[in-house]
A and B are shown apart, each in its own frame.
Chain A
């Protein structure tokens, strides 16, 4: 089975997916560290799992259902005060598209 590796360019791509930015030195460091860790991950390929079902959770529960009744926690002010910028009972953020709202 082929080994999975990661290049500096792939690290940069994954960072963009994860909404993280790294400078060049950080990219180098993360590439080295992630490669070392992927070497550990690659050991899993030694194990034959052809007829094994994956386990994604060990909960015994299927679903807990509740009645669909709206509940008002009356916490608008506390919630808004946690945001670093708000106005008119709304959370403020910069323009969503580059160049707008300037």
Chain B
């Protein structure tokens, strides 16, 4: 039995299980076989849980209940989502061997739905990076070209879906870490509104920015996964107690009269002209479908990167103080005092990018820099939010490119942190404002996928999905397959 996820969306997999065309055991085994066939090219997984997954599969087969659309379906989880008893490293040396004692709320929710985790996906160390190159463990490659980066930080989750290893995956997005790898791999990735999905059990990087979200091949699949993981959680004081709507309810393909804003700053300096042209063509297609498209301005966009890197690194420097070698993970050898243990463990356990951000954050919060940096950045954040609010008075969604370029070569950018940071300019403002942001494939430049980013009002993921679905159904780009699809 083999399974090709390029030809099966979540609903069709669900139907196959319900109609007994395939058992959960067969589907899980076929998924593990897919990983066996292609993960030596993609390196998407840090850990696979074959035994555990097969055990759960047979339990679901025995029950024979497929009440939830995700019952019996395989999923990959980013390795910063806590999974009880299963190694969870955040792709850092400092958490080598760490086994969480509880499941993240999203993991709980997927398990309750009957989804089966087949493994933990590679990522940038502690989600710090945009290429999955800062992982301590391995280098994930792009599903369309294995000499290119998969994007990041959720590069393993994106490559696993785009490469056809699993039908869906979860990632996390602090400054673009779901949307940018989704764009680089030509799939669908959503960063939900801040508070839409519980962060309980997600390794905290920047607590005021982090959100968990789904990677899928289609918009409808994405909405189905969000339906499952969204909602209030008493364990996350920032999770929202607003009602969770059915996120598939506006997927009609109709965008007549939808008001779309296109910020001129999203097509400015630093944006590859071929990427800009591809995204403009996608927007023209939405207009042809009946949407009303206007150019608008988000004047503080260019200050987003600076504000973000100050706020993110400040929050991260505080959150990462917990990694000290005492209670879990790696502990340095040959230490005489407790102070030695902290310093040596952290210096040997963290990679350079993590150290850089801890340093930036510690500095930005220090007495001499607090007003000029941390407080100033928080004020710029207010101005960025006001920019968005103004546009959303008159428009339903904001669209533009997800990333300034397509995927670049492995090793090309990693030694230039400032260039890496500036590449986040289009995704960062969405996190600072807490908005929902979706990336869908908008076409290809030199054989590599380009992302169309769709940004919505707070808690209006439905309209974001509506826009993405209409474009996806008109363009049919999700039917294009990378060469790796032939392996199944």
Please list the residues of chain A having a beta carbon within 8 angstroms of any beta carbon in chain B.
1, 4, 6, 10-11, 14-15, 17-22, 30, 33-34, 36-37, 40-41, 43-47, 49, 52-61, 63-64, 66, 73, 75, 78-79, 81-85, 91, 93-98
Which residues of B have CB within 8 Å of A78?
85, 99, 101
Please tell me if the beta carbons of B194 and A54 are within 8 angstroms of each other in the complex. Answer: no
Residue of B with least CB distance to A10 = B363
Given contacts A34-B360, A60-B240, A91-B327, contact A54 B381 (CB under 8 A): yes
Which residues of A have CB within 8 Å of B344?
21
Please tell me if the beta carbons of A83 and B381 are within 8 angstroms of each other in the complex. Answer: no
Please tell me if the beta carbons of B237 and A61 are within 8 angstroms of each other in the complex. Answer: yes
Residue of A with least CB distance to B238 = A59
Docked complex: B314-340 residues within 8 A CB-CB of A: 317, 321, 324-331, 335-340
- Nearest CB on A from B461, distance (A): 16
Given contacts A30-B359, A94-B338, contact A37 B421 (CB under 8 A): yes
Which residues of A have CB within 8 Å of B343?
19-21
Please tell me if the beta carbons of A34 and B359 are within 8 angstroms of each other in the complex. Answer: yes
- Known: A17-B366, A40-B418, A47-B303; 19 extra A-B contacts, CB below 8 A, are A4-B368, A4-B369, A6-B363, A18-B358, A20-B355, A40-B309, A44-B376, A47-B383, A54-B381, A55-B379, A58-B433, A58-B434, A58-B458, A59-B240, A78-B101, A79-B327, A82-B328, A84-B329, A84-B330
Docked complex: B269-303 residues within 8 A CB-CB of A: 300, 302-303
CA distance A61 to B194 in the complex (A): 11
Q: Identify B337's interface contact among A20, A21, A84, A95, CB under 8 A.
A: A95
Q: Identify B208's interface contact among A58, A79, A83, CB under 8 A.
A: A58
- Nearest CB on A from B192, distance (A): 13
- Nearest CB on B from A55, distance (A): 4
- Nearest CB on B from A77, distance (A): 10
Please tell me if the beta carbons of B101 and A33 are within 8 angstroms of each other in the complex. Answer: no
Which residues of B have CB within 8 Å of A41?
306, 309-310, 364, 373, 377
CA distance A95 to B339 in the complex (A): 9
Given contacts A17-B366, A18-B317, A59-B195, contact A37 B360 (CB under 8 A): yes
Please tell me if the beta carbons of A34 and B356 are within 8 angstroms of each other in the complex. Answer: yes
CA distance A41 to B357 in the complex (A): 13
- Nearest CB on A from B305, distance (A): 6
A sample of 19 inter-chain contacts (CB < 8 A) reads: A1-B372, A19-B339, A19-B342, A19-B343, A19-B346, A33-B356, A33-B417, A34-B356, A34-B363, A37-B360, A40-B418, A41-B373, A44-B303, A44-B377, A45-B376, A54-B381, A82-B98, A82-B328, A94-B338
Chain B 428-443: CB-based contact to A (< 8 A → 1; otherwise 0): 0000011000000000
Residue of B with least CB distance to A41 = B306
Which residues of B have CB within 8 Å of A61?
195, 237-241
Given contacts A57-B238, A94-B340, contact A73 B306 (CB under 8 A): no
Q: Residue among B329, B359, B369 with the most chain A CB within 10 A?
A: B359
Please tell me if the beta carbons of B238 and A44 are within 8 angstroms of each other in the complex. Answer: no
Please tell me if the beta carbons of A44 and B306 are within 8 angstroms of each other in the complex. Answer: yes
- Nearest CB on B from A1, distance (A): 8
Residue of B with least CB distance to A51 = B379
Please tell me if the beta carbons of A18 and B359 are within 8 angstroms of each other in the complex. Answer: yes
Report, nearest first, the 6 A-B pairs whose CB atoms are least far apart: A54-B378, A58-B434, A82-B328, A49-B379, A84-B331, A59-B238
Which residues of A have CB within 8 Å of B306?
40-41, 43-44
CA distance A76 to B347 in the complex (A): 29
CA distance A96 to B102 in the complex (A): 30
- Nearest CB on B from A58, distance (A): 3
Please tell me if the beta carbons of A52 and B362 are within 8 angstroms of each other in the complex. Answer: no
Please tell me if the beta carbons of B336 and A95 are within 8 angstroms of each other in the complex. Answer: yes
- Nearest CB on B from A9, distance (A): 13
- Nearest CB on B from A87, distance (A): 14
CA distance A85 to B434 in the complex (A): 41
- Nearest CB on A from B38, distance (A): 33
Which residues of B have CB within 8 Å of A94?
335-338, 340-341
